[in-house]
Structure 1
Amino acid sequence: MPVAEITEKLLAAKKEKGITFEDLEKQVGRDEVWIASVIYRQASADMEEAKKIVSALGLPESMAEPLTVPPMKGGLEPQVPTDPLVYRFYEIMQVYGMPVKDVIHEKFGDGIMSAIDFSIEVDRVEDPKGDRVQITMCGKFLPYKKW
């Protein structure tokens, strides 16, 4: 089953059942963002996790196996994203990417933040001026090695 097709089916079932990613987190026992990345085929689940996802969505167990296949990651086109929400992340990196890089290097040395040994949390923070989106990224620091 092509990636786009399985993602469409999973998202359609999620919408039809009125299930949120937070609901799936409770049923699967994994973080909601990670589950969304499995559905969007940017991460792979083990068979038990995949079966829990498709079961929660009321889909046949046969749809679980494709969710266990390691996906081709980073499916964004090599152009500036046009979706306003996704574009804001691009814009944030354009404005703050180099400053964040310098601060990381000051605190840790020459290296990168892992996107493999990594977690991301999305929270809603109530504010009288309008609720805020709080995103917390936590990745292992990986120093460049010398040889």
Structure 2
Amino acid sequence: MADGTRHRRLDALLTPRSAAVLTVECRRGVVGPGGALPELAAAAWDGTSLWLYSIVRSRRWADLRSDPRVAVVVDDGTEYGDLRGVELSGTVEFVGEAPRPGEPHPGLEAVERLFAAKNFGLESMPHDGRHAWLRLTPDAVVSWDFRKMPDPG
């Protein structure tokens, strides 16, 4: 994604409603020893990367440590003709301490402000000593929008 084209397309797809989906209902397939493991996780999009906040003593964390490849789907709509979404895929990076104690970290300041505001309504991130950060800067982005399909009738 050397040019910003895909990021602009992704930003255009992320309406306030789908951005909320990205924050609350992000679905990921983590490749683990037993195959794909769909999971729910809290996430935040910063315009370039998807940040995932995960418990470090979880199966998800262990699986990603052994194989950091991930795919994330963000979708919106309830009726077939209204469905739209985006799939991000690539390799996650582990950022900061694990677990995150809450000490200042220059690479996490912006995302922690964004995440705290979206998920907790706070100005600063509450740290519990159990979570840490993963960053997905997508290698591939695939999107769909069934609202753009011609009406068959």
TM-score range, shorter chain: 0.3 to 0.5
Structure of greater relative contact order (alpha carbons < 8 Å, 6+ residues apart): 2
Q: Choose between structure 1 and 2: higher helix proportion.
A: 1
Larger radius of gyration: 1
Q: Choose between structure 1 and 2: higher strand proportion.
A: 2
The two structures have a TM-score, normalised by structure 1, of 0.36
